[in-house]
Amino acid sequence: MIIDPEGYCSAATSIPSPNCDDRPPGMAVELIVIHNISLPPGIFGGPEIIELFTNRLDAQAHPYFAGIASLRVSAHFLIRRDGALLQFVPCSKRAWHAGESNWQGRTRCNDFSIGIELEGCDSSVFEDAQYATLATLARAICVRYPIVASTGHADIAPGRKTDPGPHFDWVRYHSALKKQ
């Protein structure tokens, strides 16, 4: 797996999201932010995450969607439960995944981060295939960009966000990053 100079992953299925823009000039990509998402909440495998990130989510399809269908959000990547990798925004662009955020005193984390969504929720464990894809992807990102850390959405938006949640195994993730 490689990330090419334009920021596309060789192993990902590309589904372009309009919810992105240019990073500030000269801004280095230094942070990986790990999230979780399921739509409807706690339900896996449907098209709704793709529909949300491409502004096609039907507000009437589920009661929960009425409150989120108008959001303009995205992430660079989504890792499905089976480990399948989707890419919505090239890494060279700013995806709209972090919102109001702060990492080590730096605000606007979207400016300098790559957002990776894991299909999941705070109440479920993640699958082995997801950890395998995540580690391989993170290593490829680290080869292309001067990444200094990986963090959770909860860590850059405390009190506002909880993901990737209590079931995300940080020790497992960091150990897998070291393996080749």
The whole-number average pLDDT for the span 61-73 is: 96
- Determine the Cα–Cα distance for residues 146 and 7; give it in Å rounded to an integer: 13
The domain segmentation of the chain, as residue ranges, is 13-46+73-178
Q: Which residues pair with 95 in a beta bridge?
A: 20
Q: Is the pLDDT score of 179 beyond 80?
A: no
13-46+73-178 to CATH, choices 1.10.1200.10, 3.40.80.10, 3.90.1200.10, 3.30.420.10: 3.40.80.10
Q: From the centroid of its chain, how far is CA 87?
A: 9
CA 102 vs CA 48, 154, 164: distances in Å: 28, 10, 16
pTM of the model: 0.96
Percentage above 90 pLDDT, the chain: 96
CB count, 10 Å around CB of 102?
14
**Does residue 119 carry a catalytic annotation?**
no
CA 41 vs CA 13, 107, 114, 123: distances in Å: 24, 28, 23, 10
Beta-sheet pairing, 102-103 with 149-152:
unpaired
Spot the catalytic one: 30, 48, 117, 127: 117
Percentage above 70 pLDDT, the chain: 99
94-147 pLDDT per residue, tens = 999 999 999 999 999 999 999 999 999 999 999 999 999 999 999 999 999 999
